[in-house]
Amino acid sequence: GNSVTQMEGPVTLSEEAFLTINCTYTATGYPSLFWYVQYPGEGLQLLLKATKADDKGSNKGFEATYRKETTSFHLEKGSVQVSDSAVYFCALLAGANSKLTFGKGITLSVRP
């Protein structure tokens, strides 16, 4: 079956530090890959996506590249801000199956 594995958290960084959150997946076919973010007290929001191999999704300074050879979709940001503190979920959508499969999520805390 499909699965998403995220690195263990939580992660605490200082403002302006570089961020990498690892995500690997197992899926049949050619999935689309997503990063969702959940800010405190709010619902899940789509952060970025990539629909095929070598695509790079980007939004709000975050980037992730769909790597088919390593089945990975790692999230990066060059300089984090306090406002980036949230829970980040990696997810996939595979083929005609419409359901998203999520990783466990990782909590990011950015201190001033």
Partner 1 sequence: DTGVSQNPRHKITKRGQNVTFRCDPISEHNRLYWYRQTLGQGPEFLTYFQNEAQLEKSRLLSDRFSAERPKGSFSTLEIQRTEQGDSAMYLCASSLALGQESYEQYFGPGTRLTVT
Binding residues for partner 1, rule: CB under 8 A, are 4, 34, 36, 42-46, 49, 89, 91, 93, 96-105
Q: For residues 21 and 110, what is the distance between their CA atoms, to the nearest angstrom?
A: 14
Nearest to 84 by CA among 47, 48, 105, 109: 109
Least spacing, CB of residue 52 vs partner 1, in Å: 13
User: In a 3-state reduction of DSSP, which class is residue 60?
Assistant: coil
Least spacing, CB of residue 62 vs partner 1, in Å: 16
Closer to partner 1 by CB, 17 or 102: give it: 102
Q: Dihedral (C-alpha) 62, 66, 72, 76: value to the nearest 10 degrees?
A: -10
Least spacing, CB of residue 57 vs partner 1, in Å: 11
